[in-house]
């Protein structure tokens, strides 16, 4: 397993290939449906230009932008203890199905120069194109291992947009040796598209022979 430190350089991203197993150490953010929709509506115009966030949105933007520069976002709706005291700890940190973010992810990656997206189930052509351009990678985390993955979260450094609710908020994490597999790389390779194509071919063959 290759150990990689966040933020991630372009050279490191380009060196990664589908099938590589890596362990991430550094800072990352969580973000799901509400966060991605909010990012696009608040920060990025349809033409890819930067909007002018105000008030609380500007404060959050200034806090998360340096973390996402060369950074990673994790599609995760965590179970968190310490909500009453502010002494936050991730109890479970399993990946969320990523395809729901497909309408937004590519533009978010370009805007923040984000190098990694973690989730499960893979993403589509728009995100794959962004992985090639930015460059970046899609990283698959193991579903059903939420408590195990949470052990890679050394510390919860803060939280933004708590008004979205605990699962949808932006959690700022310090992680160590966070285990993932590259399933979409910056060279237009997608394990998910490959599996889908092979599955369709097998289904067509079975239907033809039936």
Q: Based on the number of CB atoms within 10 Å of its own CB, is 52 exposed (0-12), middle (13-18) or buried (19 or more)? A: exposed
CA distances from 157 to 2, 90, 116, 154 (A): 25, 11, 20, 9
Q: Exactly one of 36, 111, 160, 192 is catalytic; which is it?
A: 36
In the chain, what is the greatest distance between 2 CA atoms, to the nearest angstrom? 63
Closest to 18 (Cα-Cα) out of 153, 195, 152, 197: 195
Q: Is 75 a catalytic residue?
A: no
Measured CA to CA, the distance from residue 12 to residue 1 in angstroms comes to 14
Task: For the chain, give percent helix, strand, coil, nearest 5.
Answer: 40, 30, 30
* Phi, psi of 15, deg, nearest 5: -80, -15
Cα 140 from chain centre: 9
Q: Which residues are catalytic?
A: 36
């Amino acid at each position: 397993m290759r150990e990689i430190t966040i933020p991630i350089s372009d050279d490191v991203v380009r060196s990664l290939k589908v099938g590589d197993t890596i362990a991430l150490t550094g800072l990352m953010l969580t973000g799901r449906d509400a966060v991605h929709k909010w990012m696009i509506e608040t920060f990025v115009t349809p033409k890819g230009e930067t909007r002018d966030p105000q008030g609380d949105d500007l404060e959050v933007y200034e806090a998360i932008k340096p973390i996402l520069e060369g950074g990673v976002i994790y599609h995760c709706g965590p179970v968190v203890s310490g909500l009453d005291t502010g002494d936050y700890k991730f109890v479970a940190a399993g990946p969320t199905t990523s395809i729901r973010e497909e309408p937004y992810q590519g533009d978010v990656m370009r805007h923040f120069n984000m190098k990694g997206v973690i989730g499960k189930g893979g993403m589509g052509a728009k995100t794959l194109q962004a992985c090639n351009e930015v460059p970046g990678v899609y990283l698959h985390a193991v579903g059903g291992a939420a408590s195990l993955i949470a052990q890679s979260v050394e510390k919860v450094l803060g939280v933004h947009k708590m008004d979205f609710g605990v699962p949808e908020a932006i959690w700022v994490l310090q992680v160590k040796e966070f285990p993932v597999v590259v399933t979409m790389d910056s060279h237009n390779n997608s394990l998910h598209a490959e599996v889908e194509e092979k599955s369709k071919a097998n289904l067509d063959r079975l239907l033809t022979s039936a």
